[in-house]
A = this chain, B = another copy of it.
Amino acid sequence: MLTCSKDRVQNKIETFAKFGDAGHGGITRFCFSPEDLQAREEFVKRMKAVGVETVTDDMGNMYATLPGTEEGLPRIVMASHTDSVRNGGNYDGILGVITAMEVVETIATEKIPHKHPITAMVWTNEEGSLYPPAMMSSGVVCGKFDKAKMLASKSSEGKTFGEALKQSGYVGDEANRLNPKDYMAMLELHIEQGPVLEAEKKEIGVVEGVVGMVNYRIRTYGQSDHAGTTPMPYRRDALLAAASALKYLHAELDKLDSNLVYTTGEILCHPCIHTVIPDLVDFSIDARHKDPEVIKQVVEVIKNMPKEFDKCEVKYEEAWARNTIDFDKELVDLVQKSADAYGYSSKRMYSGAGHDAQYVADMMPTTMFFVPSKDGHSHCEPEFTSVEECWKGINVVLQTVLEIDKK
């Protein structure tokens, strides 16, 4: 079986880990920050070193295409992103970019025959850390988001994404955008970001799709009064009510399907002063499952929640939702076949996280590969996947690209 170079993979991981190194094992590399521009330059430099030029589109997405032996065939693209969350790790996103580069480099340097052009691609602003929303550029390219609105997206310091894009120097031609005419398939390797592969001792996650989700805001309404002067029976404490609502939702949702995941991750409290009884608390609930019926049950739990906790009114509001996305069955089978060919252990699974690939899936045959995440950590500095595990994943991508090329 063909394999890519473990040493080169290690070198790439170590090199990119320097761009935005926060000094304690992880990185902060916001889209179009100086650190992100370093990573982009490194991508261009390394692709150029193997004879491949990089072009960009109007969203700053980067494409480095190794020509194939036959004229006029559509391209096979591998893509992920270079940007990170604050104090993120060295694998989320960047490992997919490293994979794309390494596969192109292996095919180029080892002169592996291939008919179709093969493209290594970088998506702009997948995390949306500075400029929301996440998956901004794949959203624009795949027709999910309005470009003008995205250009107007502001960082908390008031800079727009449009300004940052222009200043980056990476604006290219809209005609260069990923599209279903010039491209035949898109592949994305990513860390699992969960503990399942590690726990089940599987080397490759064969990703069948991205689970559907709902996101609600729960709000409790109390009365702000002074902490020192208001006897307890007179109080309507919105934070106490929020704690009760949160505990209630956890207890009820724990009764649903065991594959359901749900998260109460964000809480806002007003006025949030230790000497004042809170009058408004707002927290998020995010729930994900591949079966829409289970998501419906979650919504029922939220809607049937008591209207009052601790003398405070409780309201809910849907923030957003997405349906389950299924990847291309033929491609998924090819991934499975490739993993099997190396003798790597694998598990078919759905992605709980969102990825650019989910938008692309509506436009062309698309699929994803997962490699294990140590202790399941991601979006944090302890995020880790061994070079050996990365290398195995990249081999499976290499083999899958060559299988697609046969079509």
Contact = CB atoms under 8 A, between A and B. Distances in A.
Interface stretch (A57-65, A104-112, A228-236): A228-236
A271 B354 contact: no
Contact of A263 (B211, B254, B277, B319): B277
A231 B264 contact: no
A384 to B, nearest CB: 13
Interface string A296-333: 00000000000000000000000100000000000000
A35 interface: no
* Residue in A230, A264, A267, A373 whose Cβ sees the most chain B Cβ within 10 Å: A230
A2 interface: no
Contact of A266 (B229, B274, B286): B274
A351 B275 CA distance: 14
Chain A contact residues: helix, strand, loop or mixed: loop
Interface stretch (A115-123, A150-158, A239-247): A239-247
Given A239-B264, A267-B239, A230 B194 contact: yes
A265 B278 contact: yes
A286 B225 CA distance: 13
* Residue in A192, A211, A242, A274 whose Cβ sees the most chain B Cβ within 10 Å: A274
A211 B71 CA distance: 86
Contacts of A267: 239, 267, 269, 272
A377 B240 CA distance: 19
